[in-house]
Structure 1
């Protein structure tokens, strides 16, 4: 297999460009107008093809003719994810924790890991978290007035959107309260990876791995009923088929993925609601719209804009173009979620759009075998968090002249700041 090499072609869309990170939708609509696909330079500097239409995105994410690991494509492999990361300066001893997660596995390996987590990360366990999630949300909201400035303005990102999901996932996994600031710091360094400073990624990842080793040792010495204790028991009962490094990677993935995406679901969602006062007013009058509102938040401004690159194991004809065997395709989740063939008037934010409809019309949680394992928990946090904000501060508003500050992480829709007036 010959991988798409780095290129200096003028027609490539650079997904690393700051403009794409802060507002990807103009680029997405340009690709849609041009036929639904376009060549691009991925975040690892390798070429791939973007696909923005819902039908193509679902095929790339759900069809077994597409795989995450290039090693699963027949023929010579010239581009491995581990090589790309070591080339960027990541310590070779740490690369496995970035390339061997549940999110990176194909076929049998993915099924094996997912079954293990599914035995512990159950719907029953998530539902049992609801009172705790409500309590955390209420406590955070109760503190907002004392954190506000003299004009009643407070930044929701550090004081609500981030603390809520990290407290929830840490409670679920079993991370003590005093250790949670360290997890937040590691997460920030990992998500804001700067290729010119790989030492920051290496230090964050190295510290996190050693911390998880200690947590696992503690659970073996003294079993617990939290998710981590359950994972350790499930792994031991499984006959050790799950390696220690896989278990560490699993914990790392659950905690980081379990709060980063939800934090920005809350941030982007509240921004959208307050930017459309009629929608905020509807939610204030009818809390029964919360489930539909969260789905619309995911469709309109979900955290993930692009999915991990997939490799075609054979030639595949998609609606918007052909993907040759061995080539890389990128499913643009933000494109599928604004496909007018599936979502009429896709630029319109409408919290009633999903009301009373079964299932999910959007792909905010992905599609196929890699559908988000924590989707139920994220929806629960979104409904409780937004509901608590609306109830406690019905007149919440954005602050003119002090608008939200978007983040600059390629492939994700994030906010670094969300000032609001209580």
Structure 2
């Protein structure tokens, strides 16, 4: 991979944007070191990353295209093993990915997402009522705990037909899967427990179908090939959708609230109508991507980046891993100018890759946006005097270089 010493990625995620700036400073693509001395190419240029994410010569399937995985060099004790070894759309390539995406798309329709709006509004009101009550007992309320976490997990649970009493367990397991500083055994155990919970859900829905996404996934059939999702694909797909759908929305809400409370001028623009809540959501996704970096993709053949608009003379060799550095790309000056690091709801170009790009663009993006577009205006309307009750150092960061959010979000309701 060349002679430049790779930049070691901090698995604790203590300084996501500082690290993103260091990645950008090394050029549009640079070598990084992941846990276990695994080297990869981190891509921070928005335009180059878009080209790579849509290039058929870039795969997400380690079983076909990562020699180190194929040769047994990547084992279950590698901290990121569960991120690359699952059997679902996340790691599928080519025709296999198309088959899985078609089947999942048949169940996870725009109509199903839109139909959730009234229920999301009800859940949001219930949570805000609870926050108001908590504010009477204590001057400080943790919004990550009281709003950002429970809203997505309740929506996801209802969407999939999962009993509400399993929500706390799901949250604990998802948190562990995203904790890249955790012991590999803990992450593997969390994945196995998650698999057990969702396998049980599938078995229940086979016996008692309902009007939910799990039942829809069981029933989905490829009209041309007549294929269905296998049992393993079903549970792995549910694992992907539950974990990704939960964590990204938690962080989107958290980061949007934090951005508005630390940029009162921008909140004033929204309240005056000069910026919309859609603007808040999209600018948050650009400025503070819920997923900072996503492992991994692999070069199917040698990729001369100069031919893709990247740096001349740089070649990603066949089989080398690629890390999509979304947080770094969101603040790419090459795309967003010298003020790319500024939160600005009136910014004309808010393009981002926070939900991915190309064939692997997140199917749950409309649901995440819908939850944020409902919850954020409701929160700030209910509590117009909302103020942060801690500085950024006190907020902390979730222990992950993948998940980008705070450990806590304490506020005074005003």
User: Is the structural similarity TM-score above 0.5?
Assistant: yes
Give the aligned partner of residue 374 of structure 2: 384
The 2-side partners of 1:326 and 1:207 are apart by 31
Distance 2:84 2:34 in 1: 21
1:162-311 matched pairs, under 5 angstroms: 162-192=149-179, 194=181, 196=183, 198=185, 200-234=186-220, 239=226, 241-286=228-273, 289-311=276-298
- How much does 1:215 deviate? 1.7
**Closer, same or farther in 2 for the Cα pair 1:258/1:348, shift >3 Å?**
same
The answer as to whether partners of 2:40 and 2:321 remain within 8 angstroms in 1 is yes
Partner of 1:367: 357
Deviation at 1:307, TM superposition (A): 2.4
Instruction: Tell me the TM-score normalised to structure 1 length.
Output: 0.88
Question: Are 2:68 and 1:68 aligned?
Answer: no
Structure 1 residue 191: Cα displacement:
2.0
1:136 is aligned to 2:119: no
What residue is the counterpart of 1:337 in the other structure? 330
Q: Cα offset for 1:150?
A: 5.7
Tell me if the contact between 1:22 and 1:413 (Cα under 8 Å) persists in the aligned partners.
no
Aligned to 1:396: 386
Match of 1:48? 40
What is the aligned counterpart of 2:344 among 318, 325, 350?
350
Residue 407 of structure 2 aligns to a residue whose secondary structure is: strand
Distance change >3 Å, CA 62–CA 268, structure 1 → 2: same
Matched, 1:412 2:398: no
RMSD: 2.7
Q: What CA distance in whole angstroms lies between the structure 1 residues aligned with 2:143 and 2:276?
A: 22
* Aligned mates of 2:222, 2:333 — CA distance in 1: 49
Q: CA deviation at 1:62?
A: 1.5
Q: Is the 8 A contact 1:43 1:410 kept in 2?
A: no
CA, structure 1 residues 209+342, in 2 after alignment: closer, same or farther (shift >3 Å)?
same
Task: Write the deviation string for residues 204-253 of structure 1: whole angstroms up to 9, x where unpaired.
Answer: 22232222222222212222111111111115987554211111111111
The alpha-carbon distance between structure 1 residues 86 and 211, as it changes in their structure 2 partners (threshold 3 A), is same
Q: Residue 32 of structure 1 corresponds to which residue in structure 2?
A: 24
Q: How far did residue 10 of structure 1 move?
A: 8.7
Describe the shift of the 1:410–1:27 C-alpha distance in structure 2 as closer, same or farther (beyond 3 A).
Answer: closer
Deviation at residue 295 of structure 1 after TM alignment:
0.2
Contact 2:301–2:317, Cα closer than 8 Å, also in 1: yes
SS in structure 2 of the partner of residue 408 of structure 1: coil
Provide structure 1 residue ranges, at least 5 long, that are not aligned to the other structure: none
Match of 1:87 among 77, 95, 116: 77
Alpha-carbon distance in 1 for matches of 2:71, 2:279? 38
- How does the TM-score come out when normalised to structure 2? 0.89
Q: SS at the partner of 1:303?
A: coil
